[in-house]
Every structure is written in C-alpha cells, then in structure tokens.
Amino acid sequence: MLALIRDLQKERGSTFVVVTHDPGVAKLGDREIHLRDGKLVP
C-alpha cells in the first residue's frame, strides 16, 4: 500500500497524509510533522 501511495505521489504530484505510530513508515514520507497532545511539536 505504501509503495502505491509513493508511486501515485510521484506520477501525479498528489499529496497524501499518512498517520502512523511506526517510525519506519514515517521515514518513507518527504516530510514528518509531530504532534503531542494535539499540538505541533518543533
């Protein structure tokens, strides 16, 4: 599934938001945004 998301992003320039607790999955993205207690963590 993650490979499909990456392919679509590259081919079509689509944006996907993936929510995960798995650091390995998070590293596959171009950008990581961290939240703690519902707030952005720098």
Return the domain boundaries, the chain. Answer: 2-41
CA dihedral 19, 24, 25, 27 (to 10 degrees): 90
Query: pTM for the complete prediction?
Result: 0.65
Q: Is the pLDDT of residue 40 over 90?
A: yes
pLDDT digit string, tens, across residues 13-36: 999 999 999 999 999 888 999 999
Q: Is the pLDDT of residue 42 over 90?
A: no
Contact 20, 26 (CB under 8 A): yes
Q: Which residues contact 28 (CB under 8 A, 6 or more apart)?
A: 2, 6
Residue 25: the pLDDT is: 93
